[in-house]
Amino acid sequence: MGRMELRISGFGGQGIIFLAYVTGRSVAIGEGRHATLNQSFGPEARGSACSAQLIVDDKPVDYPYLRKPSILVSMSQDAYRTYLDELDEKGTILIDEDLVKDVGEPGPGRKLLRIPATRFAESLGKKICANMVMCGFLTATTDVMERDSAREAIEQSVPPGLGELNLKAFDLGYEHGEKLL
């Protein structure tokens, strides 16, 4: 599979870092590959810019910072605008279509995939699980991780009592991704 670089971005309070953590855990523990995670966020707890850099590789990761990400996950308009230019010219962009409306022309070689992640999460009664909707979508539409290892990582990572809700959110995103492809 080789090295994959992902930028997962949005704003504080959306669970951006947790989405990156679950993805890295899925790959490293569930699939025996290597992953590194770096994060950055504003000083405010909610509403400020938030971003995670995730590198996944079959070999140990020798440099834990993004060079040219092949996948950009954007769950806010500002995140999309901020990080689009760093994406590889043949990269894949996953957006929450409810929150990223002005996409312009992302580039001729890039693939843009949309999901109403926040709307799906609201249909489950918890807007906060939009990150797990996006996790399912990421799993279905890219080669980053396998479905079973992602589900296991979610079960092992969420607080007690929230596993079922987060797995439902994951499944909604995964099913949407399968239909899209």
- Domains, in order of start, for the chain: 4-180 (3.40.920.10)
Q: Is the dihedral of CA 29, 64, 89, 2 positive or negative?
A: negative
Q: In this predicted model, what pLDDT tens digit does every residue of 21-54 receive, in sequence order?
A: 999 999 999 999 999 999 987 655 567 789 999 9
How would DSSP label each residue in 9-74? Answer: EEETTS-HHHHHHHHHHIIIIIH--EEEEEEEE-SSSSSSEEEEEEEEESS--S--S-SS-SEEEE
State both tokens at 149. Answer: 């290892």
Mean of the per-residue pLDDT values of the chain: 95
pLDDT digits (tens, 9 = 90+) for 68-105: 999 999 999 999 999 999 999 999 999 999 999 999 99
**pLDDT exceeds cutoff 80 at 166:** yes
pLDDT confidence of residue 109? 96
Mean pLDDT of 111-124: 98
State the pLDDT at residue 43.
Answer: 56
